[in-house]
Amino acid sequence: MDVISVIRTKRDKGELSPEQIDWVIDAYTRGAVADEQMSALAMAILLNGMNRDEIARWTAAMIASGERMNFDALSRPTADKHSTGGVGDKITLPLAPLVAACGAAVPQLSGRGLGHTGGTLDKLESIPGWRALLSNEEMLHVLDTTGAVICAAGDGLAPADKKLYALRDVTGTVEAIPLIASSIMSKKIAEGTGSLVLDVKVGTGAFMKTIEDARELASTMVALGTDSGVKTVALLTDMSTPLGLTAGNALEVRESVEVLAGGGPQDVVDLTLALAREMLDAAGLKDADPAKALKDGSAMDVWRRMISAQGGDPDAALPVARERHVVTAPSSGVLTRLDAYDIGIAAWRLGAGRARKEDPVQAGAGVELHARPGDTVTAGQPLLTLHTDTPEKFDYALGSLTSAWDIAPEGTDFKATPIVLDRIA
């Protein structure tokens, strides 16, 4: 077996054999296949796709590259959630403690930013002292004592995916449906959760731009999970507009705490509750009321315990960017569009994301929104505020915002897109 023949097979639109898939995943994990060779294979997969058998085998090979966890010793049923990534998507932060407050155990293995989308771990690392890297023993302890844990996948869990995940971010292959599906499901199946809810984003700010592609990805992942004995359901949710009023790391943590305190933007609250209900239903806790847990403070209590258990200080001040630039509305009228992708690129250019896998991110960088589609705006009023520690990046970020919004004449009818577009089970 050699990597050149594997690359050529997929380059020429052939089907990879089970032996080829097993070999190339194992060889890449061991370092016998170089990053540039796996980059070529990933690009061939992006361009030419994989069939269901190939995806299933690729996922199994990723799982087999490491260990598998088991939560049978816990007294609570386990439920996990995964988002395919979006702009302003801070939902995991309030969701995990909320579901835990309702009686489930939430082992949330999360990732870092990919392209223009934010990463949950990057957000949480803006909290002073908080640690993403936990041993399996530490993870189980936090899960057992608080009901929820949000952390990085350990080195032993699907190590092939850890290498490939970072490589995809910097080689233009993030959007490949077979690679997205196998990346997500290899970690979730190896993690050992009993049930899984997938939040598959659709729209300009998502990797899946069309409802058809989103359904294909969701159906692929639901099948992979179900075939592996994990109760799996997917919601297709809108990502044409950023979620909430912030896109950035510390900015999104601040907004998440507002949601846990009973406030926050309505779209973030609505999606958090929709996903919580799906997770609780999948875990067999149909009578739990997540809306009550938000109102009575029990979700906030779990958040504080969870952050503290991972070394963070829930009372510490969050980082604030040193420089700000206000973008004003160029005319008066009804804001009918605020493009999620353009906002995500601006946040990335300001320092909230990374261009290379080894790049650091700025905790305080990002974009703050002062209006959402459907709002009436006046010429000259603040529309966005850009945050960064490096003001020389303002012009670079502004370049992505030249066509980020539409403002229609006052009185224009506006019909909001529902946050949940479809459900696949």
Contact of 96 with 105, CB cutoff 8 Å:
no
**Residue 210 class from Cβ within 10 Å (0-12 exposed, 13-18 middle, 19+ buried)?**
exposed
The pLDDT of residue 354 is 81
Task: Give the SS3 label for residue 336.
Answer: strand
Q: How far apart are CA 201 and CA 164, in angstroms?
A: 21
The DSSP 8-state label assigned to residue 310 in this structure reads: T
Q: What is the pLDDT of residue 343?
A: 98
Per the annotation, the verdict on 415 as an active-site residue is no
Residue 390's nearest CA partner among 367, 368, 365 is: 365
Active-site hit among 10, 168, 201, 231: 168
| Of 265, 273, 249, residue with least CA distance to 87 | 249
Catalytic residue among 65, 183, 195, 240: 183
Q: Are 177 and 213 in contact (CB under 8 A)?
A: yes
pTM over 0.85: yes
Tallying the residues shown for the chain, one arrives at 425
Cα distances from 287 to residues 210, 280, 387, in angstroms, run 35, 8, 42
Tell me the pLDDT tens digit for each residue of 94-120. 999 999 999 999 999 888 886 788 789
Annotated catalytic residue, options 57, 90, 163, 187: 187
Question: Which pLDDT belongs to residue 221?
Answer: 96
Query: Is residue 370 annotated as part of the catalytic site, yes or no?
Result: no
Q: What is the pLDDT of residue 162?
A: 84
Q: Tell me what pLDDT residue 357 has.
A: 66
Candidates 22, 89, 122, 161; catalytic one: 161
Domains in the chain, ordered, with CATH?
3-49 (1.20.970.10), 80-309 (3.40.1030.10), 323-408 (3.90.1170.30)
pLDDT value for 170: 81
Distance CA 145, CA 207 (A): 36
C-alpha–C-alpha distance, residues 63 and 82, integer Å: 17
Q: Are 324 and 119 in contact (CB under 8 A)?
A: no
The dihedral over CA atoms of 126, 365, 184, 156, expressed in degrees to the nearest 10, equals: -40
Per-residue pLDDT at 308 = 98
- Active-site residue, selected from the candidate residues 82, 277, 387, 393: 82
Contact 4, 39 (CB under 8 A): no
Active site annotation includes 13: no
Q: Is 82 a catalytic residue?
A: yes
pLDDT in tens, the chain (425 residues): 899 999 999 999 999 999 999 999 999 999 999 999 999 999 999 999 999 999 999 999 999 999 999 898 899 999 999 999 899 999 999 999 999 999 999 999 888 886 788 789 999 999 999 999 999 899 999 999 999 999 998 778 889 998 998 898 789 898 899 999 999 999 899 999 999 999 999 999 998 999 999 999 999 999 999 989 999 999 999 999 999 999 999 999 999 999 999 999 999 999 999 999 999 999 999 999 999 999 999 999 999 999 999 999 999 999 999 999 999 999 999 999 999 999 999 999 999 988 776 788 999 999 999 999 999 999 999 999 999 999 999 999 999 999 999 999 999 999 999 999 999 99
